[in-house]
Structure 1
Amino acid sequence: MTDSSPTPPNRQDPQLDPAGDADEPAFDWMTPKSAGQRSAAASDRPAAPADGSIPEPLSRADRKAAEAAVEPAPKDKGAHFSEQLPTSALQVRPPEEEVQRRNAEREHALNAKPVAPRVMQVLLAVCFPVILLVLAVRAVASPLFLWVEYNRPGFPGDGYGFSTDDRMTYGSYVVDYLSNWAGPRYLGELVHRSGDRLFEDGEVSHMADVKLVILSAFGAGVLLILLSLIAVIYLRRRSPGGVRRGLFAGSIITLVVITGLGALAVLGWEQFFAQFHSVFFASGTWTFSLQDTLIRLFPAQFWVDGGIAIAGLVLLASLVTLVLTWPTRQRRGLPKRGAAAKDQAGEKTTEAIGTDPAADESAGTDAAPTDAAPAKRSLFRRDRSGNAGGASAAAGAADAGAGDTGTNDAPARGHSSTV
C-alpha cells in the first residue's frame, strides 16, 4: 500500500481523543478562569458510579478545575503548600545589616567626588610653575634684555676692545641663534672686522648644545600650555572653582620652588652655576677663557642679572596669581561672617518662638494694654465678694469707656464709689 493508493471505504478513523471531548478548544486549560467558572466546572464533574466501577477518565480541563476548586480548611491553610509568584521575592525585606550596608554604599557614592576633576587640578598645579619658568627664560633670552644689560649703569665693560655697539651686534646673533632653526654655521661663519673668526669651534659646539636645551624647554612649555588649556576647559564645565583651586596650588608650589632655588643661589652662586651646567652639558664643554668671545659678550654679571630677572618674573607672576585665586568666602560661595551670624540668630529666635507655646502666649499677654488689667481684676474681685452683677457690669463698662476715651479720672471715681 502506497501513498497514491485509494483509501478503503470501510476504514475506521483512529480514536485520537479517548476522553470524548473533541469540541474542547486546544490549550484551553492554560487560560485563567474566574471563581464562578471554577465552581461551575466542579459542579459539572461527573460523580463516581454507585456500583464501584471505574469511571471514565476526565479531561485535562476538568482535572485542573477540580484541583482549583479544592480549598484547604482554615486550620490547614498554614500547612498548605502553594508555589510563590515570580515576583514574591521582591516583597521580602533583606536583613537589617544588608539594608545598612546598602545605605552606606549609596551615601558614599553620593558624597564621593569624581576623580577626573582632581586629576585635572593636580595637572594644572604641576604645569603652572614650569610654564612660568619657561616664559621667564624666553623673556630673558631676547634682544630687549640684552640691550637693557649692556646699557645699564654698572655693567662691566670688555677689556679686550668690544664696544657696547659691538656687544649688542654680536650678542644679538647669539640670541637669535637660540630661537631660530639655523645650523651651527650661523655662528661659525661670523668674523671680526679684521677677518678672523668670531667664535671658535668649542664655542659653536657649546652654543649648539644650549640651543638644543632651549628649544626642548620651549617645546615642553608649549605642550604644557596645551594640557593646561584642556584642564581649564574641563574644570570650567565640570568643576566650579576647580580652575581657581588648581592655580592657587600651582602658585604655592612655584613660590616654594623659587624660594628654595633662590636660597641655594644666594648661598653659593659659583657652585649653583656649575651644578646647573653639569646637569645639561658634558663636563669640559662649557668652560672658556676670559679672551673667548662668549665670555666677553656674556660675563659672570650677565648671568647673575639673568638669574635675578628670571626669579623676579616668576615670583611676581606667582604672587599675582596667589592673590587673585585666594580662597575668600565670596569666591567659595559662602555668605559674609556678619550675614551668617544674623541668619543664625534669626533661626534661633524663630525656633525659640515656634517651640514654646507658653512663652508665646505670655509674650502676647504682656503686649496687651496695661489699662485693661486693673479693670478686669477689680471686676473679678467684685464678683467674688457677692456684689450685684449689674453694678459690677456697669462699673466695668464705665471703666472700659473711660479707658477708650483716654481719661483716668472717671474710672478712679467709679471704682471708689463701687467699693
Structure 2
Amino acid sequence: MSDKSPKPQEPDTDVHEDPNEPAFDWMKPKTSGGASAVAPATTATPAPTPDKAGPANATTPSTTGIAPTTATPAGGQPESRAHRKAAEAADIEPEPPLFADTLAGNSAEKQDPHYSEPLPTSALQVRPPEDEVARRNAEREQAAKVKPIGPRIFQVMLAVFYPVILLVLAVRAVTSPLFLWVEYNRPGFPGDGYGFNTDDRMTYGSYAVDYLSNWAGPRYLGGLVNQDGAQLFKDSEVSHMADVKLVILSSFGAGLLLIILSIIAIMYLRKRSNGGIRRGLFAGSIVTLVIIIGLAVLAALSWQQFFTEFHRIFFANGTWTFSLEDTLIRLFPGQFWVDAGIVIGALVFLVATVTFIFTWPTKRRRGLADKQDAAEETASDPEDAPIRADIS
C-alpha cells in the first residue's frame, strides 16, 4: 500500500457531539398515523475536511455559522434530547439576583431623579389610630397615678413627727429662765404669802428650772438652804423633781431624734418627690391644729381635771401632791401652770397655723398652673400637638 492510496474512512467516534436523533426508535414521538413525526432538520452544510489530496477544499466557502433549525412536533414534544433538556430548563424558576446585582439595582434607583429616600423622622408625621392614642393616654394617666411607696412613707413620718416636735419645742421654751422672769414680773401674778419676794422666787426658781435640763443629781436641789439655814426643798419635793427631770429629758431626747428623722425625710423628699415636703408639713399642721384645739377645749372645760389627769399619766399617785407651805407650791402656784399651758398651746397653734397657710395646696404650688400654661401653649399651636402626643 503506497502513500497515495486512499485510506479507509473510519467511523465517526466523537462522543461529545449530541446527535439530533434519539438513540432508539421507541423514544421517537409517534404521530396519529404511527410514523415518527420528526420534521426534517435544516442544517448548514458542514465545511469539508481539509485533505491533502483535494486542493479544491481550500476554496470551498464555509457555512458553519448558520444555526440549525429543528421543527417542533404538533404535540409540543421536542424531537431530540437536547431540545427536551432546553424545554425542561425553561420551566425552572429564575435564580435570585446576586448581591452585586442588587447593589447595582440600588445604585440605579438612587441615580433616578424621581427617587427620594425616606427621612428617619418621617414616621413621626404619621398619627397612630385613635384607639392607640387613647390607650397610650390611659396608660400614661395610670402611670402618673401610681406613686412609689417610699415618698409616701416619709410624708407620713413628717406629718406624725411634726406635732410632737412643736410640742417639745414649746415645752423647752417654757422651761427656761426667760419665761420664769416674764412670769414673775408680769402684772397680776399672785404673790407668796409665806415671805418669798420676786428676787427670792427668781433665784430659787432658776435652780429648779436649771435642774430639769442639766445632768446634775438630786443633790443639786437637796443641798439648797433658805435664809434661816433650813432645807429649801423637802425630800419628797426633790424626788418629784427627779421624776419631772426624767420625763423632761426623755421628751427632749425624743424630740431631738424626731428632728433628725424629719431632716432625713425632708432631704429624701427634696430629691425624690416634687412637693412631698409641702404635703407632709401640710398634713402635719392639720394634725397639730386638731390636737391642740382638742386639748385646749378639754383644759377650758375643767382645768383642774385636766391637770390631774396629766400628772396621772406620767407620775405615780401621791408623789406629786404638796401643801401650800411647800417650796414648789410657793415658787410654782396654780396660776403659773395655767399660764405655762396657755403659752405652750399658743406657740404650737401659731406655728401650726403659719405652716398651714404657707403649705396650702394652691394651683401654683401643685404645679397645675404650669400644666395649664402648657395646655394653652399646645392649643395655640395645634400642629405640634399630634407629634408631642406620639413622642410622649
Q: Which of 159, 163, 176 matches 1:129?
A: 163
User: Match of 2:68?
Assistant: none
Check if 1:181 corresponds to 2:215: yes
Q: Which of 266, 280, 283 matches 1:246?
A: 280
Check if 1:150 corresponds to 2:187: no
User: Match of 1:227?
Assistant: 261
Q: Secondary structure at the match of 1:330?
A: helix
Q: Which of 265, 288, 296 matches 2:330?
A: 296
User: Match of 1:328?
Assistant: 362
C-alpha distance in structure 1 between counterparts of 2:188 and 2:332, whole Å: 15
Could you say what the CA RMSD is over the residues aligned between the two structures, in angstroms?
Answer: 2.7
Query: Match of 1:238, as an amino acid?
Result: R
Q: How does 1:165-176 map to 2 (within 5 A)?
A: 165-176=199-210
C-alpha distance in structure 2 between counterparts of 1:110 and 1:302, whole Å: 54
Query: Match of 2:275, as an amino acid?
Result: G
Q: Secondary structure at the match of 1:190?
A: coil
Closer, same or farther: CA 107–337 of 1 in aligned 2, 3 Å:
closer
User: Match of 2:341?
Assistant: 307
Closer, same or farther: CA 121–306 of 1 in aligned 2, 3 Å:
same
Cα deviation digits, residues 325-376 of structure 1 (max 9, x gap): 111111111228996996698589x99xxxxxxxxxxxxxxxxxxxxxxxxx
Query: Match of 1:284, as an amino acid?
Result: G
Where structure 2 has 5 or more consecutive residues not aligned to the other structure, the ranges are 1-137, 386-392
Cα deviation digits, residues 193-216 of structure 1 (max 9, x gap): 100000001000000000000000
Higher helix share: 1
Q: Which of 147, 151, 156 matches 1:117?
A: 151
Q: Which of 216, 236, 242 matches 1:202?
A: 236
Query: Match of 2:286, as an amino acid?
Result: I
C-alpha distance in structure 2 between counterparts of 1:316 and 1:336, whole Å: 32
Check if 1:267 corresponds to 2:307: no
Identity %: 71
Query: Match of 2:176, as an amino acid?
Result: S
Deviation of residue 323 (structure 1)? 1.0
Closer, same or farther: CA 202–338 of 1 in aligned 2, 3 Å:
same
Closer, same or farther: CA 145–107 of 1 in aligned 2, 3 Å:
closer
Aligned length: 249
User: Match of 2:317?
Assistant: 283
Cα deviation digits, residues 259-299 of structure 1 (max 9, x gap): 00000000000000000000000000000000000000000
Where structure 1 has 5 or more consecutive residues not aligned to the other structure, the ranges are 1-103, 352-419
C-alpha distance in structure 2 between counterparts of 1:175 and 1:145, whole Å: 10
Q: Secondary structure at the match of 1:160?
A: coil
Query: Match of 2:341, as an amino acid?
Result: G
Closer, same or farther: CA 120–336 of 1 in aligned 2, 3 Å:
closer
C-alpha distance in structure 2 between counterparts of 1:106 and 1:168, whole Å: 67
Closer, same or farther: CA 208–123 of 1 in aligned 2, 3 Å:
same
Q: Which has the larger radius of gyration?
A: 2
C-alpha distance in structure 1 between counterparts of 2:205 and 2:305, whole Å: 26
Higher RCO structure, 1 or 2 (CA under 8 Å, sep 6+): 2
